[in-house]
Chains A and B, each alone.
Chain A
Amino acid sequence: MDPNGGSSSAGAADGASDPAAARRRHSKKPKYSRFTQQELPACKPILTPGWVISSFIFVGIIFIPIGLASLFASERVVEIVHRYDKDCVPASYRNDMLAYIQSNETNKTCTRTFLVPKQMKSPVYIYYQLDNFYQNHRRYVKSRSDKQLRSRASENDTSSCDPEDVTANKSAIVPCGLIAWSLFNDTYGFSVNNTLLGVSKKNIAWKSDQQHKFGSDVYPKNFQSGGLIGGAKLNSSIPLSQQVDLIVWMRTAALPTFRKLYGKIEVDLEANSELTVVIENNYNTYSFGGKKKLVLSTTSWIGGKNDFLGIAYITLGGLSLFLAISFLLIYIIKPRPLGDPTFLSWNRNPAGHFN
């Protein structure tokens, strides 16, 4: 029968009291927590004019000094850039520079002289700069074997080195791959006022590369022994971890124009002293029209000569200050009191509303 208790049920009494009670027993009532009720304490920052203006001013104050500092540092850097790819080709070969560079007979030595414009404090870093050289080409970047470079045990791990992986008789090339194969092989000798300058190669490669990526028990093998000779040859008695030029070269550049560290001169170069460079111009950039440059540069805390960073910082800082002033003016000329209800949409467009 109808278990309707408690109330005198009229008409379509639904007898719900009992099941409801049953349901209440295993209640599904959500437990209250600030998390589930989305009432966690929160900070609700809003962009007040004060915040806007002070943040712009803040950016301005921070950025302009940084910009000035880096611009100043950049100004202190002395840099000599000397392009030699064309000038180092004898006049007779000027029309066919490719033949010149590819020939074994031609004399590749080339002597250049230039003045040091300002005093260059040691260390003076020597870079070579290549242009239009796609060290970042996918085919190129992939063509190496980190395993092989790292340990002798993986000497035959050349699968990723295509097409410069094995010699004709299938023995592994160490170091394999296009990157190593195309190692830059121009050399530079420096003298100032006819005194020879030593070129130090110490610390031009990353320490981690020397210690962990290029094995001290891995020696060059079958390198540049095939029909096609790419770039520099390696002394097979020196382990890879000591082949700093190779290590530097193997760090592929991000852009087709790049500088790589060649070495450093650890004496100061006085202003107006005459610097003579003897260049062994071996490397073929002529086939693809790439430039070769020799760069001598000192550094500052931001590295090399880099005006852009400073200018960018100053510009941005200036822009921020300008914006701060503009907003200040805006707020003065056309203030909108914060939280002013007259700006609510129903107050702005009262049309249609009842009064």
Chain B
Amino acid sequence: MTRGRIRAKLRQSHLYTFTCFRQDTADAEVPHSFDGPGFSRIVYCNQPQVHSKKPLYYTSNNISTTKYNIITFLPKAIFEQFRRVANLYFLLAAILSLTPVAPFSAVSMIAPLAFVVGLSMAKEALEDWRRFIQDMKVNTRKASIHKGNGVFGFKPWQRIRVGDVVKVEKDQFFPADLLLLSSSYDDGICYVETMNLDGETNLKVKRSLEVTLPLEDDGTFNDFRGTIKCEDPNPSLYTFVGNFEYERQVYPLDPSQILLRDSKLRNTAYVYGVVIFTGHDSKVMQNATQSPSKRSRIERKMDQIIYILFTLLVVISLISSIGFAVKTKYQMPDWWYLQPNNTTNFYNPKKPALSGIFHLVTALILYGYLIPISLYVSIEVVKVLQATFINQDIHMYDEETGNTAQARTSNLNEELGQVDTILSDKTGTLTCNQMDFLKCSIAGSAYGSGSSEVELAAAKQMAIDLEEQGNELSNFPMHKNSTGDSWNDASGLGATEIELETVVTSKDEKEHKHVIKGFSFEDIRLMGGNWSKEPNADVIELFLRILAVCHTAIPERNEEIGGFNYEAESPDEGSFLVAAREFGFEFCKRTHTSVHVRERYVSSGQPVEREYQILNLLEFTSKRKRMSVIVRDEDGQIFLLCKGADSIIFDRLAKNGRMYEEATTRHLNEYGESGLRTLALAYKKLEESEYSAWNSEFMKAKTSIGPDRDAMLERVSDAMERELILVGATAVEDKLQKGVPQCIDKLAQAGLKLWVLTGDKMETAINIGFACSLLRQGMKQICITLNPDVQTQDGKEAVKENILMQITNASQMIKLEKDPHAAFALIIDGKTLEHALADDMKYQFLGLAVDCASVICCRVSPKQKALVTRLVKEGTGKTTLAIGDGANDVGMIQEADIGVGISGVEGMQAVMASDFSIAQFRFLERLLVVHGHWCYKRIAQMICYFFYKNIAFGLTLFYFEAFTGFSGQSVYDDWYMLLFNVILTSLPVISLGVFEQDVSSEVCLQFPALYQQGPRNLFFDWYRIFGWMGNGLYTSLIIFFLNIIIFYDQAFRSAGQTADMSAVGTTMFTCIICAVNCQIALTMSHFTWIQHLFVWGSITTWYIFLLLYGMTSPLFSGTAYQILVEALAPAPMYWCATLLVIVTCNLPYLVHISFQRSFNPMDHHIIQEIKYYRKDVEDQYMWTRERSKARQETKIGFTARVDAKIRQLRGKLQKKHSPTATNVQTPLS
């Protein structure tokens, strides 16, 4: 094929100077030689039919993440259910209930179990069904497949087979792991975004083999044949070994030809590829680990309680079976009415031990009511309902993506209320990976009046705080008119005021909407060509020209609006180009050698298209931190235009180029403080001779082959990029997601710690730290990095020692710090982290990190994210929450106690692995502070109450045993007991678990400090648990003994009848039902009609049941026949006893809570009272004041920033007033 065909559009993909020249790969092109295990895969390209049967049949491209299928569901789900100890116990009990050992009828054991297990299984089935639907969505996505004869057609992903040729278009995901054959670019390269795989946002370049380049349109695939021999499926994302046999030649393959499933094609119109790995064989699926089943802290503690109850159960069973054996041996022979000589083994006085053992089984079943059979199922029901509320929450619905919050697993709801540390990803989570050109500093003057989000948020907070502190600082002229003030001249304060002023004014201008993506610049002085009227118009022109020329982007005509879109390597660059365009320097065309810029505002008035000849391009690398182009303009003058990190550029300025350095530095500091990403722009004029001398050097370096080529190139470039003249600086806002600073601030006020783990480089991470107010001026930054000198000189040990020393020093420093307001930030990069996470150092590292107000880990790999998460989780023993959006966050999402996925972006990996998914980071606040808080309290109260009621009930059975010679007779009818857990007491407790609200959602959000009740575990500590158990014990004693004494031997009616067992049992049971339901009514603080219905309805249900049960045939109801109508209801004694018992049972609890409320009120009590008396409406000042005070001591978030600023200003005020003050600090230093 000829390479010189005329292309309709620019197909030059190469802007990378350092890689411009394809390395001579002649020596590398030796096919890999491999055989044996691990390298058995053979793919016949374009012959998928070969792969439809053995031995070349490979797994289909259908993916399934479900746990069950139709056949395995029953056995597997049942097995899962009976892995729970309690369920297993109930199963055993149910089986035993079929034998005569059982104290109850079989149905009263089996029915609740079947109900409980059935419900849990139904939930499992539902969840699995959802997963199935999710899978189906992916499986039915369409991809364009070669159908033969050079015709491509669409097929669902799941029907793609190994060997298929696939055409993937721009912004589509790759349906399987592909071998890249050719792309829309001439040289077979394509750009791939692997955010879903590793979270890296920069585009990766993939390059096809040269031999397959001619396969560049649909028709050429008609007779394409080839064979790939390669490694077997494995999870390693960055390796690939294989050979490609094509036209009787064998070519080696490496990872750069492999396009991985779930990565996305970017900046490339289309690519052709042949499928190598499908479905679960693909690398990304091989990486997918089964999400571990997580259990909440409360549930784990609940298990311990269940073990305690089991112990209790066994103990009382042993007591009663020993009692039984003793009674049977010594007394039963005298009980002629039992015919002791004519017994079975169950009651054999001659074999008391055997009878005792049988009785032990009976007792274990009988006292089973101590273990609430319905606890698990009630909790499941409650959690599913809670999850539905989370899913339905309209405040967590994102209009843009149309996504709601999703509780993907419902068993962690209450864990949301106990989070201590949040580990967050950056890109896609905190930021939207979009850059907005916001400000610039040109020739020493600052342009751009827009404010970054964090400034706006801080300004708002400041206004509130100042209002409040207005009394103390009455002479403090704040955002109100500050003109003519006595100390207006103080330079530092002046700056602050300007800042505040801009903030306030820009708030007013907020209505003005800018619709241009990547451009939020607001300053009339530069817009619409006005810049030419500025004093430094020539510098401004130069500045804008640098923006328009010094880059590597490609313009793309947008037919709809007639403008250009830019395909840039990084979003920063894109925003520069957009800015330049808006200022009138529209970059419109790029050729191999030149850049065309259409200038709108020239003196002639007519737009002029200028051509800049690109002579050289010195590429940006993270090491160089700068890029330059050398251009020749139309006048033949040669310029070096350079943009780069400010520190780097400032080092390279010429003596006469430092004119604006001071002003620019000040502006840069301001920008940095506002969390903006800054770059400095500089240029230099070159003489022809100077350039050509350098160029020959450069060419020599470029064409050299060998290991020191890169070093040489760098040296040569470095020599050129010197003696620069500073033009100005840009400030780009790494657009935070909506509401992120506010959310972080609230979370910090709620006492949560936030760690940022990002794959980005340190500078970016720090910028974002500033933008999110995780960092601020005046915070001491502790950077732990590898010392390059140590690294090269000595071995690993020395490196480690060095890091350890840094950690110890930093810890020392924190310890010695006296200022209570001092805040520290720890910043560490991935390479250092590798050492810091080693076993012998990790706890020192953790100790340091915990002492710091904010922790930022940059350049971390997905695995390190998971390791850090594990370290925090295990090291601090507190609940961790990991939040992220990409596949690189999957590890940490799975590792953390709670994983939250951001569902706004397209990739689903993080969401699939997560426990909760939300559309935006800001919803985390509501998820934790409202739902988490509620769910925690609800579940905690619910579990406590559950144990209470079952102890209250179960123990009465035991007491009664003592009066029946431990024979295993229960005083209650079987049906009562069956209904106790399933119907009569379950609904109120479920309503408690679903609807209880100590305070409303608004209050939760207004008083983030309330959240701390969860992490401090105030509602589920052992004190409280044992308190409730004690209450249960007390209730059981009262219920049993009061009733026994009242009904001891006397007639209970005026007609003289004495109470028989059923009358006593029914009265006792009535007491239990009423007492526990009244108890729950006392526990609740929020009654909607539902709670009323359930609580009072349960009591009513009991009477209705008793009535109806008494009306059934006496063969069915037995001794309960007509018991209510005939025996109990007409007897005043029955009602008197019930009332007495109910009141006696609940009195201590009432006293307890009344006492607690009067002397030791908790925060929510007081807020309830304030709300109750509508004090918040009457005394708004107090309400606002309390709201602003209700924070945990926090050193991060913009509130802390405002506090720090106020402190600083106040300090200055004092200095100002004291005559000795000489040195007024600027607030920025």
- With known contacts A253-B1061, A309-B1140, A341-B1186, A1–B170 Cβ distance under 8 A: yes
Contacts of A40 in B (CB 8 A): 995, 1088-1090
Judge if A104 is at the interface, Cβ distance under 8 Å: no
Least distance between A330 CB and chain B CB atoms (Å): 6
B1121-1142 vs A, Cβ < 8 Å mask (1 yes, 0 no): 1100011000111001101100
Q: Mark A325-355, 1 if CB is under 8 A from B, else 0.
A: 0010011001010111101111100001110
Q: Chain B residues near A208: list those with CB within 8 A.
A: 1114, 1121-1122, 1126
Residue interface bits A1-30, CB-to-B below 8 A is 1, else 0: 110111111111111100110011001111
CA separation between A41 and B1088, bound complex, in Å?
6
Q: B1170, A341: Cβ atoms under 8 Å?
A: yes
B565 touches A261 (CB 8 A): no
Q: Which of A251-287 contact B (CB under 8 A)?
A: 251-261, 264, 284, 287
Within 8 Å of chain A (Cβ to Cβ): is B323?
A: no
Find B1058's partner among A46, A253, A334 (CB 8 Å cutoff): A253
Would A343 and B335 count as touching, CB distance under 8 A?
no
B21 interface residue per 8 A CB criterion: no
Q: Which residues of A contact B1049 (CB under 8 A)?
A: 129, 255, 257-259
Chain A's closest residue to B1063 (CB) is A254
The residue in B339, B906, B1115, B1118 that gathers the most chain A C-beta atoms within 10 A of its C-beta is: B339
Q: Which chain B residue has the least Cβ–Cβ distance from A352?
A: B1193
Instruction: Verify if A168 is at the interface (C-beta below 8 Å from B).
Output: no
The one of B401, B1115, B1158, B1193 that contacts A20, using a Cβ cutoff of 8 Å: B401
B1169 sits at the interface (CB 8 A): yes
Known: A38-B995, A261-B1058, A339-B1175. A137 touches B343 (CB 8 A): no
Minimal beta-carbon separation of A122 from chain B (angstroms): 11
Does the CB pair B401–A11 fall under 8 Å? Answer: no
| CB–CB A302/B1132 < 8 A | yes
CB distance from A183 to the nearest CB of B (A): 10
A63: B residues at CB distance < 8 A = 1140, 1143
**A30-B404, A206-B1126 are contacts. A306–B1151 as well, Cβ < 8 Å?**
no
The answer on a CB contact under 8 Å between A66 and B1136 is: yes
Residues on A with beta carbons closer than 8 Å to the beta carbon of B1171: 44
How far apart are the CA atoms of A254 and B556 in the complex, in Å?
A: 92
| Residue B69 at the chain A interface, CB threshold 8 Å | no
Q: Is the CB of A5 within 8 A of B560?
A: yes
Select the residue from A41, A260, A288 with max chain B CB neighbours within 10 A.
A288
Is A44 touching B1143 in the complex (CB atoms < 8 A)? no
- Chain A residues in 8 Å Cβ range of B1203: 354
Give the docked Cα–Cα distance between A137 and B347 (Å).
11
Q: Inside 8 A of A12's CB, which chain B residues have their CB?
A: 193, 201, 203, 266, 433-434, 568, 570-571, 574
Within 8 Å of chain A (Cβ to Cβ): is B308?
Answer: no
Q: Which of B558, B1000, B1061, B1186 contacts A344 (CB 8 A)?
A: B1186
Query: What sequence of 0s and 1s flags, for each residue 179-213 of chain A, a beta carbon within 8 Å of any chain B beta carbon?
Result: 00110000000000000000000011011100011
Q: A2 contacts B402, CB within 8 Å?
A: no
Assess the A308–B1045 pair: CB atoms within 8 A. Answer: yes
Q: Are B563 and A8 in contact (CB under 8 A)?
A: yes
A254 touches B334 (CB 8 A): no
Q: Report yes or no: A336 in contact with B1159, Cβ–Cβ below 8 A.
A: yes
Cβ < 8 Å to B, chain A residues 152-176: 162-164
Tell me if A47 is interfacial: C-beta within 8 Å of chain B: yes
Does B435 lie within 8 Å of A11, measured CB to CB? yes
Complex contact B517–A300 (CB within 8 A) = no
> Which residue of A55, A127, A254 is within 8 Å of B1064 (Cβ)?
A254
Contact flags A24-61 to B (C-beta < 8 A → 1, else 0) = 10011110100011111111111111001001000100
For residue B1224, CB closer than 8 A to chain A, the reply is: no
Minimum Cβ distance to chain A for residue B920 (Å):
13
- Could you say which of B1051, B1061, B1090 contacts A252, with CB atoms under 8 Å apart? B1061
Which of the residues B1053, B1057, B1147, B1154 comes within 8 Å of A316, measured between beta carbons?
B1147
B232 CB-CB contact with A under 8 Å = no
* CB under 8 Å from chain A, chain B span 626-684: none
Q: How far is the CA of A146 from the CA of B1117 in the complex (A)?
A: 10
User: Smallest CB-CB separation from B335: which chain A residue?
Assistant: A288
How many angstroms between the C-alpha atoms of A334 and B1147 in the bound complex? 22
The 0/1 profile, CB within 8 Å of A marked 1, for residues 189-219 of chain B is 0000100000001010000000000000000
Contact A2 B560 (CB under 8 A): no
Could you say which of B391-399, B685-693, B778-786, B887-895 contacts chain A?
Answer: B391-399
B1050 at the interface (CB under 8 A from A): yes
**Residues of A contacting B1126 with CB < 8 Å?**
206-208
Residues from chain A with Cβ under 8 Å of B201 in the complex: 12
Bitwise interface map of A from 62 to 92 toward B, beta carbon under 8 Å scored 1, else 0: 0100100010000000000000000000000
Partner-contacting stretch, out of B736-744, B802-810, B965-973: B965-973
Q: Which residue of B lies closest to A295 (CB)?
A: B1049
A37 CA / B930 CA spacing, docked (Å): 12
Q: Are A15 and B389 in contact (CB under 8 A)?
A: no
Residues of B within 8 A of A (CB-CB), count: 157
Please judge, given known A-B contacts A20-B402, A228-B339, whether A313 and B1133 are in contact too, CB under 8 Å. Answer: no
Contact of B1051 with A299 in the complex, beta carbons under 8 Å = yes
| Chain A CB within 8 A of B523 CB | no
Whether A292 is near chain B, meaning CB under 8 Å from some CB there, is: no
Residue in B closest to A11 when the chains form the complex, CB atoms: B574
A279-B577 Cα distance, complex, nearest whole Å: 118
Instruction: Verify if B504 is at the interface (C-beta below 8 Å from A).
Output: no
Residues of A within 8 A of B1057 (CB): 204, 206, 261
Q: Would you call A316 and B565 a contact (CB within 8 A)?
A: no
Q: Which of A107-127 contact B (CB under 8 A)?
A: 123, 125, 127
Within 8 A of B (CB), among A205-245: 206-208, 212-213, 228, 230-231
Contact of B1114 among A212, A251, A287 (CB under 8 A): A212
Complex contact B1061–A136 (CB within 8 A) = yes
Please tell me which one of the listed residues B339, B1114, B1151 contacts residue A163 in the complex, with CB atoms under 8 A apart. B339
B1102 proximity list for chain A (CB < 8 A): none
Please indicate the chain B residues that have their CB under 8 angstroms from the CB of A212 in the complex. 1114, 1121-1122
Question: Cβ of B1060 < 8 Å from any Cβ of A?
Answer: yes
Contact indicator per residue, chain B 1143-1164, by CB within 8 Å of chain A (1) or not (0): 1100100110110011101110
B1168 at the interface (CB under 8 A from A): yes
Among residues of A, the one whose C-beta sits closest to the C-beta of B1002 is A39
B642 to A: closest C-beta gap in Å: 20
Task: Report chain B residues within 8 Å CB of A141.
Answer: 969, 1061
Given A12-B568, A46-B1168, A47-B1157, A36 contacting B392 (CB threshold 8 A): yes
Least Cβ–Cβ distance between B1087 and chain A, in angstroms: 5
Q: How far apart sit A17 and B137, CA to CA, in the bound complex (Å)?
A: 20
The residues in A between 295 and 328 inclusive whose CB is less than 8 angstroms from any CB of B are 297, 299-306, 308-309, 312-313, 316, 319-320, 323, 327
Distance in angstroms from A303 CB to nearest chain B CB is 4
When distances are taken between beta carbons in the complex, the residues of chain B under 8 Å from A340 are 1166
Partner of B1042, one of A32, A123, A312: A312
- Chain B residues in 8 Å Cβ range of A46: 1085, 1157, 1165, 1168-1169, 1172
| Bound CA span A297–B573, Å | 104
**In the complex where A1-B269, A11-B553, A251-B1060 touch, is A23 in contact with B401 (Cβ < 8 A)?**
yes
Measured CB to CB, the closest approach of chain B to A41, in angstroms, equals 7
Question: Residue on A with the closest CB to B100?
Answer: A142
For the complex, give the distance between the alpha carbons of A162 and B1062 in Å.
22
Question: 22 A-B pairs, CB-CB below 8 angstroms?
Answer: A11-B569, A11-B570, A14-B171, A16-B906, A39-B1000, A40-B1089, A44-B1087, A46-B1085, A46-B1172, A47-B1154, A134-B965, A136-B963, A136-B964, A137-B965, A203-B1055, A207-B1126, A255-B963, A256-B964, A302-B1133, A308-B1046, A309-B1046, A339-B1169
| Given contact pairs A11-B435, A133-B337, A251-B1119, a sample of 15 additional A-B residue pairs in the complex whose CB atoms are under 8 Å apart | A2-B565, A8-B561, A8-B565, A23-B403, A42-B1087, A49-B1158, A127-B1051, A136-B963, A140-B337, A146-B1118, A254-B1064, A255-B1048, A258-B1049, A304-B1051, A341-B1170
Q: Enumerate the 3 nearest inter-chain pairs by beta-carbon distance, A residue then B residue, closest first.
A: A11-B574, A304-B1050, A10-B574
